[in-house]
């Protein structure tokens, strides 16, 4: 069970979890495979799975003289699984080097780092949803893109606390994550309508959409947002209609690497995800970028587990919360 957060938004220092905590977790190779194939998807979940896989490795090889070498190699294997969501990189670094003391018990420190990462991540939706609801009036119409566990938590909480909330969810080609979103919202009793991606602008204009709410894969120091492909187009459409774009994101989505100029790599996936190769007309090429960048000026607010931020406040927040350590991958 997640430990309660203390006042500054961080859970208390994690004790080393009992042996066996990570025994049932898939190993690093299986976790990397599941992340790469999108069996495990969504940035928050990806981060937690990576942290737990490292926790298992530290548990299994606690007495190995080369535990550190194994951990570093595992970190690089996991990092290569999917390139865009910074929660994966943060999960690896905060697990490997985030424990309060990197004492002689390297395995124990990594297990504590993994548990702390997972606890913060699991505690985030409730805090984010509470902050989000404060910004939603009764009778609001929301539009969301892709499936974000944090946007989902926000919408369900808005439905619980406000009357007559309705939602439009676009399907999000080519993986149809909007089907996940709409199914889960409907199961929670939310009035939800599924639309094709290209209907988003028309729906925002004609159905009185009040807020666009999405998740985040990476938030860069300049306040820019990397999220599922199509987020940028929906956000531009929202701006043209004066509809605020609110982003629900746990703090693990902020990129300290961007302070040094690291630009997130936009993942390109196989053309077969877009069209059956046998049906591709002769001479036609296919591109399948799966994330895009939404400029800071398009985002109204980032709602996080550690407060609500304007894009212009992101840089100072990242500097304050993410002191990169020397060995970070």
# residues near ligand RUB by CB under 6 A: 18
What separation in angstroms does the CA of 159 have from each of 139, 199, 297? 10, 23, 28
Of residues 25 and 153, the one with the C-beta less far from ligand RUB? 153
**Contact pattern for ligand RUB over residues 34 through 73, marking x by CB under 6 A:** -------xxxx-----------------------------
Q: Does 227 bind ligand RUB (CB under 6 A)?
A: yes
Which of 41, 207 has the CB closer to ligand RUB? 41
Asked if 255 touches ligand RUB (CB under 6 A), the answer is no
Joined together, the tokens standing for residue 12 give 């208390």
Smallest distance, ligand RUB to C-beta of residue 148, A: 3
Which pairing describes strands 166-170 and 191-195: parallel, antiparallel, or unpaired? Answer: parallel
**218-219 and 211-214 beta bridge pairing:** unpaired
Tell the smallest beta-carbon distance from residue 206 to ligand RUB (Å): 25
Is 154 a known active-site residue? Answer: no
Residues linked to residue 141 through DSSP beta bridges, in sequence order: 166
Closest CB 136 distance from ligand RUB, rounded Å: 17
Q: Which of 153, 311, 176, 149 is nearest to 230 (CA)?
A: 176
Tell me how far, at minimum, the Cβ of 84 lies from ligand RUB, in Å: 8
Q: What are phi and psi of 19, to 5 degrees?
A: -55, 140
Over the range 27-57, which residues count as b (16 or more CB within 10 Å of their CB) and which as e?
ebeebbebbeeeebbbbbebbbbbbbbbbbb
Active site residue 146: yes
- Site residues for ligand RUB, 298-327, by CB under 6 A, read none
DSSP for 246-303, written as a single string: EEE--GGGB-GGGGGTPPPPPPB--GGGTS-GGGSPTT-----B-EEEE-GGG--EEE
**Catalytic one among 146, 154, 170, 305?**
146
Should residue 85 be labelled a site residue for ligand RUB when binding is judged by CB under 6 A?
yes
Cα 295 to Cα 306: distance, rounded to the nearest angstrom: 22
Residue of minimal CB distance from ligand RUB?
215
Q: Which is nearer to ligand RUB, 61 or 179 (CB)?
A: 179
Q: Which residues bind ligand RUB (CB under 6 A)?
A: 41-44, 85, 146, 148-150, 175, 177, 214-217, 227-228, 290
Catalytic site positions: 146, 217
């Amino acid at each position: 069970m997640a430990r309660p957060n203390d006042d500054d938004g961080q859970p208390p220092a994690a004790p080393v979890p009992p042996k066996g905590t990570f025994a049932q977790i898939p190993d690093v190779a299986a976790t990397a495979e599941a992340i790469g194939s999108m069996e495990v998807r969504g940035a928050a979940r990806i981060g937690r799975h990576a942290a737990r896989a490292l926790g298992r490795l530290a548990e299994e090889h606690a007495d190995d003289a080369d535990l550190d070498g194994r951990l570093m190699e595992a970190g690089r294997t996991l990092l290569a699984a999917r390139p865009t969501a910074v929660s994966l990189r943060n999960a690896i670094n905060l697990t490997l080097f985030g424990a309060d003391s990197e004492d002689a018990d390297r395995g124990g420190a990594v297990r504590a780092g993994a548990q702390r990462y997972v606890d913060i991540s699991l505690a985030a939706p409730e805090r984010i949803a509470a902050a989000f609801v404060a910004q939603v009036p009764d009778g609001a119409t929301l539009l969301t893109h892709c499936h974000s566990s944090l946007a989902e938590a926000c919408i369900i909480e808005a439905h619980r606390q406000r009357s007559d909330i309705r939602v439009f969810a676009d399907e999000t080609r080519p993986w149809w994550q909007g089907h996940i979103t709409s199914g889960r919202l409907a199961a929670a009793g939310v009035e939800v309508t599924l639309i094709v991606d290209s209907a988003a602008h028309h729906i925002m204009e004609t159905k009185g959409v009040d807020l666009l709410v999405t998740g985040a894969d990476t938030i860069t120091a300049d306040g820019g947002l990397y999220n599922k492909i199509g987020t940028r187009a929906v956000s531009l459409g929202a701006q043209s209609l004066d509809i605020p774009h609110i982003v629900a994101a746990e703090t693990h989505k902020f990129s300290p690497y961007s302070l040094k100029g690291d630009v997130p790599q936009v993942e390109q996936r196989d053309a077969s995800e877009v069209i059956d190769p046998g049906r591709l007309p002769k001479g036609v090429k296919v591109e399948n970028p799966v994330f895009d960048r939404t400029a800071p000026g398009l985002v109204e607010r980032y709602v996080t587990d550690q407060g609500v931020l304007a894009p212009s406040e992101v840089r100072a927040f990242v500097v304050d919360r993410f002191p990169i350590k020397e060995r970070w991958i």
